[in-house]
Amino acid sequence: MGKSVTLTYTSFFSILSVGSTCHVTRIILRRSMKHVLAFLLFLISLTWISCAPSMYDVAEQLLQSGRNDEAIALSRRNLPSDPDDALFLKYLGVGNYNKKRYAEAAPYFEKSLAVDADDDQCVYYLASSYENLSELNKAIQYYRRYMDMTLFGEFRELVAARVKILYARQMEAEAKKAVAEEARLETASVPANTVAVLYFENKGTQRNLDPLQKGIAEMLITDLSKVKTLRVIERIRMQKMIEELKFGQSGLVDDKSAPRMGKLLGANRLLKGSFFDLTSDRVRLDALVARSKTGRLDVTTDITGNMKDFIRLEKDLVFKVLRELKITISDDEREAILTIPTESFFAFLQYSRGLDLEDRGMYSEAAQAYASAVATDPSFTQARSSMVSAQRTQQVTGVTSSSVSTSGGPSSAATSTPVATAAPPPPPPPPPSSASAMENAGAVNERMTSTATNVNAGFTPTAVSQPSSPATVVKPLPSPMEPPK
């Protein structure tokens, strides 16, 4: 009986214990469920918050929908908490840009880039702002910086073509200004190592070789520019001066007008020359270097050889001129000059035709001439890049051969009619920033950034301190298109 009573008590307490445990468990579970539900609600709220649009998203959506004033107001409200917020600074710039207030937009883009120098889209906006402000030097500088940064190939080529057009316009404006101030130009400060290479004259009987007038000059400029102790005037600068002075359809500078050309270009020395065919397969190149100020000859030289070795003859001519001028060059400079762009005379002749056609605004025909050079010599990389440039330039300007007044065939440099550099149409809107594309691709970890560089490669003559002449009026460039949506 005692045993049974003990068992009964034990069983009772066991049951009680189990019951208590279940009750406690139920209480714990009920409380745990509350915590679980609360935790789930917390997670849901976090998800909602992360999916909700940020102030940046709102500002960008306002800009894309054309509500620029609201985007500007929103950015200004948020900026005081972080004055160096690159995105809100950029959005302030974009809002003003969209409202065509370019003078107000540019400083915001400058400040944004000071914080985030890798924003290539911001660089493009800044370049376009300066273009609309007719500050061509700064526009070119930032367009070139954009080209160094962006990954978008075709768009980059279009920007490169635009830079080419704007630079030609800049040289055109500087030529007009130099001629207007010619009487007051100071030549005493012209660097002694500055050289201008004029177009060569074709004194032979084969008129189909006329394009070499510009081709030889271009190649000499390219090679002499590899000598660090020399400052060589760019061909485009000289071309615009020739057009401004109306030196005839050939663009040739005679002995009487050469000193004037040197003064206007800011060149201490002028290199000019001629070429003529001795026989069907032999050619002779003559060259002289004269002082612009006094006309005194420093160099007179010539070289003769086979037509098929024409490019190598030009190299020999460069070295002879350098020796006569007593200019010492390094081994690296010598090796750079000896680089042969093409072994084909016909390819070089077609390349020279392309140069002349581009000067005349015939970009489609120029591209065809360059393409012919590439077809003849696929390794002629300079012709290939010039072909792409001419194609993109036509695409940017919309100029066709029918809209360009010419006299004579496209292969005759002596009959070319230079045309004024037309204002390019509005620049295309920038594509999305290359930063996102690079992150997605995972191919590049660091962005390429470039510092501001001076666009003017040659010396620009300065006027003596006297009452200034009226400013040269340059036709304003058209307003750019809307930014990307």
pLDDT value at residue 393: 92
pTM above 0.75, yes or no: no
Name residues of the chain where pLDDT drops below 70: 1-53, 248-250, 399-423, 428, 434-485
Per-residue model confidence (pLDDT) at position 420: 52
pLDDT at 33: 59
In this prediction, residue 319 carries a pLDDT of: 96
| Residue 412, number of CB atoms within 10 A of its CB | 18
Output the pLDDT for position 332: 96
Phi, psi dihedrals of residue 92, rounded to the nearest 5°? -65, -40
pLDDT, position 433: 74
